[in-house]
Amino acid sequence: MLMINRVESVYPAPAEDEDDYCPDAVSDLVQETVSFRELVELMRSHNQPSCYPAQGCTFEWLSAETQQDYRTGEYTETSIHYARENAPRCAKYWKAAMKAAGILR
């Protein structure tokens, strides 16, 4: 089992006359424990690495595509991060999951 941090940031809808839209997001951090299989599935849906090319290091995180709520106009961004509370020996599973998800070549 591996602990990850899931961050969800919600940005308010821009005003119609706002030229430089740069709002502050409301973020929510949830720490959860997942199996290797669940981690690979999460990585497949969060397939945008924080750096290019991805190397599988524990400081890299993965983001999903930004979703817009068409009713409210809010934008939601989600990302998954390796939790620092994991034992040092667990770092190899982060890289292995990135390979299994097709993010690393």
Helices (H), strands (E): how many in the chain? Answer: 2, 6
How many other CB atoms are there within 10 angstroms of residue 12's CB atom? 14
Kindly tell me if the per-residue pLDDT of 20 is higher than 80.
no
Confidence of residue 97 (pLDDT cuts 50, 70, 90): very high
pLDDT per position as a tens digit, 25-76: 888 999 999 999 999 999 999 999 999 899 999 999 999 998 988 888 888 9
Task: List the structure tokens of 63.
Answer: 């983001």
**What global pTM score does this model have?**
0.84
